[in-house]
Amino acid sequence: MQALPVTLTGDLVVLEPLAAEHHDELVAAASDGRLWEQWNTLVPAPDQMAADIDRRLSLQDAGSMVPFVIRNADGRLIGATTFMNVDASVPRVEIGSTWQSRSAQRTGTNTEAKLLMLAHAFDDWGCVRVEFRTHSLNATSRRAIERIGGQFEGLLRQHMRLPNGLLRDTAQYAILDREWPSVRVHLRSLLDGHAASASETANP
């Protein structure tokens, strides 16, 4: 398993390797909904974006992270997502640090981004498990992980300290390689349903 930067292309989104040049577009995307003000997400504020990009690129150089920006079909940058905690000895990886502009939410872009990343992790890297972690009280995020097929594995109590100083209990989920074929069919079904719904909305 070599966790190298790569571009992942779908119908709704393109996942493009993070670069310093994405700074202004990321600030604009995060400003759509002022995402850094939400208690349940860890989205960098505009004045923290440059440092966050530098941190992620340093972790990429160290081999423990592969960060992406997310573009929609029109080419607009709408968010970010990351392969993190890469462990090539298993191999396994975590998908996290995912956020999208408010206007892009519930449009199918997150579902397709997860499909692209899971396919890359299981089919190209040969991972035996892909993990997801979120705040134990973030019901929206937990439902989203469960909706794509993540299986709840338990709580990691007092797992990490948040920027406000509070300790977070983390809910951990995972998808295993033996579950991936069914999850892939499920995600494609979700995307087909979204496409049908969008078509009906456009052509009432």
Reduced to 3 states, what is the DSSP secondary structure of residue 128? coil
Query: How do residues 88-107 score in pLDDT, each as one tens digit?
Result: 999 999 999 999 999 998 88
Secondary structure letter of residue 22 according to DSSP: G
Q: Say how far apart CA 125 and CA 189 lie, in whole Å.
A: 24
How many other C-beta atoms can be found within 10 angstroms of the C-beta atom of residue 100? 25
Query: How far, in Å, CA of 170 to CA of 174, rounded?
Result: 13
Q: What are phi and psi of 12, to 5 degrees?
A: -100, -30
Looking at the predicted structure, is the pLDDT value of residue 201 above 50?
Answer: no
The domain over range 8-202 is classified in CATH as 1.10.1040.10: no
**pLDDT reported for residue 204:** 57
Q: What is the pLDDT of residues 120-171, one digit of tens each?
A: 999 999 999 999 999 999 998 899 999 999 999 999 999 988 888 889 999 9
Model confidence pLDDT, tens digit, residues 46-89: 999 999 999 999 999 999 999 999 999 999 999 999 999 999 99
Nearest Cα residue to 101 out of 25, 189, 10: 25
pLDDT of residue 196: 61
DSSP state of 137: T
